[in-house]
Structure 1
């Protein structure tokens, strides 16, 4: 009687990169300095792992994209550094243009991460304030409360005046933008303020308040709507 063993399919990027690092240790790594990969290395992987039931081409492609977009990998793309194939053999040097592209990707990724961190801090602050109000309200449950009088029309009007207004944002075209113009860049749920540094046909270079300059698509750039 022949015993069969079910093959475990690897699904997460982490598991697939770990698997590739074991099979091709001269090419992939899971920590430390990464090596720039040969251009077209996906085809080499697809051929080498064609009969490997642990991974699929789709999963390999996704894992490879995440690997080459990681900060660790982008830091390794430096002029003069050799790309490597699956066996670690040199396959051409990194050019100045390729280094600049990697630096731009890294800046955009860090800007997006900073925007997400700011959004989390803002949400955390709101949650903490809500919890503080809840505790204060709970502490007053045994204290007789006085019925709040409805606000007079004059007071309601003053409250509306005191409440800060948030200017709505509107999308723009590349022709409507100018160098030096203040804009909002949508890198997460919270738009980030920035200054236009360069305008291309479908992309805009924007310097954020934290000093980073990112290149984003025109669809991610907004300006305050004029009343």
Structure 2
């Protein structure tokens, strides 16, 4: 017996038990419910074989009975079996419900791990395809306490580029020096102090020029008070 190979993992122990007790254990497919207390039967039957210890047998049984295929076999009406495949009683409803909850929890853990892996994958793909971030501009410096904030200088308009909506400059009025050039109906300005009033020429005579103001008032004005 000293020359027997040693089984190093629980999977190897399960494969050995499926070969040693094919009516009880299975290496693949649906597993049959085991007899309660089958661990003690295993210790008595395989003691000394393959250098198996109690710790190895207990770990292998724990892995076997927590697998999905074993939990699927724990259902209402199923029969427990011993090492030789003999029937050892029907499963209790309590054991069936416990196995159902174990299976749901195992599936939930697997689903959570799968979603976490997918999230990490999407995050990694997003980082690889993301454009490099532009460096942020430094924030404007705040004025220290007691320090006056600088006011922006007003922009002076350029003389060479006048605004499009600016009103055109009016030509400077010229004084009338020769009344012979004036004609009735001509628009003219009448100087009154510093102001000049719009008027229309009605008649040109030797005594002066008779005009009508915009207000409708008619009057005779000398040439020195007239402007073009």
Shifted more, 119-128 versus 70-79: the winner is: 119-128
TM-score (normalised: structure 2): 0.56
Structure 2 residue 14 is the aligned partner of structure 1 residue 17: yes
Q: State the match for 2:114 in structure 1.
A: 117
CA distance in 2, matches of 1:124, 1:38: 45
> Counterpart of 1:14 in 2: which secondary structure?
helix
CA distance in 2, matches of 1:146, 1:130: 15
Q: State the match for 1:99 in structure 2.
A: 96
In structure 2, relative to structure 1, the CA distance for the partners of 1:151 and 1:104 (3 Å cut) is: farther
Q: State the match for 2:137 in structure 1.
A: 149
Q: Choose the corresponding residue for 2:123, options 117, 122, 126.
A: 126
| Unaligned residue ranges in structure 1 (runs of 5+) | 138-144, 154-227
Offset of 1:115 from its aligned partner?
Answer: 1.0
Q: State the match for 1:28 in structure 2.
A: 25
In structure 2, relative to structure 1, the CA distance for the partners of 1:21 and 1:152 (3 Å cut) is: farther
In structure 2, relative to structure 1, the CA distance for the partners of 1:131 and 1:11 (3 Å cut) is: farther
Offset of 1:40 from its aligned partner?
Answer: 0.8
Moved over 6 A (4+): none
- Count of residues in Structure 1 that have an aligned counterpart in Structure 2: 141
Offset of 1:105 from its aligned partner?
Answer: 0.8
Offset of 1:147 from its aligned partner?
Answer: 5.9
Offset of 1:5 from its aligned partner?
Answer: 7.1
Q: State the match for 2:70 in structure 1.
A: 73
CA distance in 2, matches of 1:69, 1:58: 17
> Counterpart of 1:53 in 2: which secondary structure?
helix
1:150-169 → structure 2 map (5 Å cutoff):
150=138
Please list the CA deviations of residues 37-96 of structure 1 after superposition, one character each: whole Å capped at 9, or x if unmatched. Answer: 000111111111111134221111111111101111011111221100000000110121
CA distance in 1, matches of 2:95, 2:7: 31
Please list the CA deviations of residues 170-222 of structure 1 after superposition, one character each: whole Å capped at 9, or x if unmatched. Answer: xxxxxxxxxxxxxxxxxxxxxxxxxxxxxxxxxxxxxxxxxxxxxxxxxxxxx
Offset of 1:11 from its aligned partner?
Answer: 2.0
Q: State the match for 2:48 in structure 1.
A: 51
In structure 2, relative to structure 1, the CA distance for the partners of 1:151 and 1:14 (3 Å cut) is: farther
| Unaligned residue ranges in structure 2 (runs of 5+) | 142-228
In structure 2, relative to structure 1, the CA distance for the partners of 1:152 and 1:5 (3 Å cut) is: farther
Q: State the match for 1:40 in structure 2.
A: 37
| Structure with greater helix percent | 1
> Counterpart of 2:76 in 1: which secondary structure?
coil
Offset of 1:130 from its aligned partner?
Answer: 2.9
TM-score (normalised: structure 1): 0.56
